[in-house]
Structure 1
């Protein structure tokens, strides 16, 4: 009799266990609640806010240069997206491994198995776990970057957030400086080449003037032509006067002889001046260098070539100087600064797990799953 009663009680208990509400709702919820309340390791979250800014160009540059260079124009959000991508990168994770051994903290066996990182996790698993513990949010209007970092204790959460902010600041400053240096270095090299060409052109012109002892061949050529024209005019006048004297007196008369001597002297001088226009007499320069025999026309032509070359080189130098100044401005624009709006906080209470929210969400999912299952089973029974 007692055996029969025990069997009936056992069967009753089995029927209770077969109750779908108990199996699909009560038991799962109870297990999940025990995990959330008693087993799950608390996680603390540190928060920081910062922003990427450019230098204030309008206060350091001439207004015309600022307008020419494009300063004052609002930049896009590419910088903040770049910072976000770097925070989520393997490079950041490697830095955190070296600085604070973050994987060792996340894989500590003191924390529950479902929350911690596997001790033999691969690089990909470590990065995936790191991304689940770090969150970056960007305000579209103000471009302020909010960083949230989770850890299993308050100090580690604060250290993690501070390390990420410091490394992000180093990164944004470093890439800006590298871009500025490379850009300015190339333009400076080109400017030095133009300066070298300018020095060569100046030296060639000065050496040519020194070699022929000329300050301005153009002016001297014009002066020689004027002297020749004047001598020709005087020769014509003296020839006419000599013809008149010979008509009124003998050729041996003193006045006629004097006029003839003056006319011969003028003709010789004219010949000398014409030779100067067509041929430069040979002389020594500094008692070492033999000067090339050139006419005034040839000297003027060469001088013009050297002068044009110097002017073109000077124009190139001016353009290069402007380009260099623009490049300096552009290099200055490349500099970025990460400004901390809110320093990494030291949390006092754990943010995760959110027990009430998790239990409510889990219960809602269970009810939804249970309801869908009941509807499917009822539909199957009805179709039979």
Structure 2
């Protein structure tokens, strides 16, 4: 932690060295190469010391003349205040507030940065067929600027800024006037409220530009605060898309692996079945055997017709009739063999019909697994492209400015508004008192 390293550095030197500007500057320069974060933190301490020296060097303005008049004529002033409620209720508080604004209120500097949320146009990086297949259009979400604004004002952002650039320490410096600073014993909620009052996030709905304006009690810290807010907001907007895309991609990868295993198992079962019975396709082989059987039956019918024809002109004992009878017996025997092949096969004597049924079952399972695998592959590719599409960037339109003049407090505006509000309150009070008197 940066605060821990800074405290160790503080404890390693004497209090006089810790309050010595030149010594701290040399230490910061020597640490620039090895520990740039600690070097920047020491430079913040140097700027604070310079601001304190500058404040102490300015001559204090005292109103001795007013004190003299007040001591010389106290009764006359009290009498005037009693006689003129407007002076007591409006003019005097306004003068006190004006003195605070002009003489005591600590100056605040503002640094502005302009950024815009952009993301890759995924549809332009692939052909039209893949774009239609995945259903991607490349359009960005209009809620991204609102998410950035919400995160900048969040407690997580305040905690990050406090841990990395000492937000509370800067806003609670002793050289800041009592009413403008936050105090060491204030709660986290008070720090968050104070931070929100000193950081403005403005959204331009037309262009999508996000303007981040952060206030600090020196211009360098205001610039550092703005830059840190922009960098952390960029990390946040990227992490949202990555978390969503990675969760979806992880789920799809798990589903795809499960479907791939099922497809491999179906292929293996079919291959084992084919190797066991030495069959490539039982359907085709069954059809071939049935064709052979039909051919033999046709030949038997032909031989029977020839035998009947010869018997009409020859005796049964003639060589021609006996030859045909022998051929007919051979065909009948072969027919029985082929019919046995249709009803059973191999040494296991498994019927062809059962083989065909089992083969069909394995084939259907493999086809369904193949279809699921194809769909899963498409979904996985879509998820991968979606993960790329979810990448978003905060593109800097204008870098954080380093102001030379303080912007706050706006003395004329504050005094005028204070006077106007008091005058309105005084007028309303006068009307209420007058109404009460009339009703008595």
For 2:346 and 2:381, the matched residues in 1 are separated by: 49
Q: Is the 8 A contact 2:277 2:346 kept in 1?
A: no
* Equivalent residues in 2 for 1:292-331, closer than 5 Å: 292-331=348-387
Q: CA deviation at 1:328?
A: 2.5
Q: CA deviation at 1:204?
A: 1.5
Alignment of 1:335 with 2:399, yes or no, is no
For 1:135 and 1:227, the matched residues in 2 are separated by: 91
Which residue matches 2:219?
154
For 1:136 and 1:10, the matched residues in 2 are separated by: 51
Per the normalisation by structure 2, the TM-score is 0.78
Q: State how many pairs are aligned.
A: 368
Of the three residues 383, 387, 400, the one matched with 1:344 is: 400
Of the three residues 148, 162, 165, the one matched with 2:230 is: 165
Q: CA deviation at 1:295?
A: 1.5
For 1:44 and 1:10, the matched residues in 2 are separated by: 41
Secondary structure of the corresponding residue to residue 200 of structure 1:
helix
Alignment of 1:31 with 2:96, yes or no, is yes
The verdict on how the C-alpha distance between 1:242 and 1:163 changes in structure 2, with shifts beyond 3 A counting, is: same
Q: CA deviation at 1:362?
A: 1.5
The verdict on how the C-alpha distance between 1:68 and 1:358 changes in structure 2, with shifts beyond 3 A counting, is: farther
The verdict on how the C-alpha distance between 1:43 and 1:64 changes in structure 2, with shifts beyond 3 A counting, is: same
Structure 1 residue runs of 5 or longer lacking an equivalent are 1-7, 283-291
Of the three residues 342, 347, 365, the one matched with 1:277 is: 342
For 1:191 and 1:320, the matched residues in 2 are separated by: 5
Alignment of 1:113 with 2:178, yes or no, is yes
Q: CA deviation at 1:114?
A: 0.2
Q: CA deviation at 1:343?
A: 1.4
* Equivalent residues in 2 for 1:86-165, closer than 5 Å: 86-165=151-230
Which residue matches 1:45?
110
For 1:370 and 1:46, the matched residues in 2 are separated by: 38
Alignment of 1:14 with 2:70, yes or no, is no
For 1:122 and 1:324, the matched residues in 2 are separated by: 49
Secondary structure of the corresponding residue to residue 30 of structure 1:
helix
Query: Greater relative contact order (Cα 8 A, min sep 6): structure 1 or 2?
Result: 1
| TM-superposition CA deviations, 1:245-297 (whole Å, max 9, x none) | 44544544433333222222111111110000001130xxxxxxxxx431222
For 1:322 and 1:158, the matched residues in 2 are separated by: 48
The verdict on how the C-alpha distance between 1:11 and 1:121 changes in structure 2, with shifts beyond 3 A counting, is: closer
Alignment of 1:54 with 2:119, yes or no, is yes
| TM-superposition CA deviations, 1:278-317 (whole Å, max 9, x none) | 01130xxxxxxxxx43122221111111111111111112
Alignment of 1:228 with 2:293, yes or no, is yes
Q: CA deviation at 1:87?
A: 0.7
The verdict on how the C-alpha distance between 1:104 and 1:60 changes in structure 2, with shifts beyond 3 A counting, is: same
For 2:404 and 2:210, the matched residues in 1 are separated by: 23
Secondary structure of the corresponding residue to residue 120 of structure 1:
coil
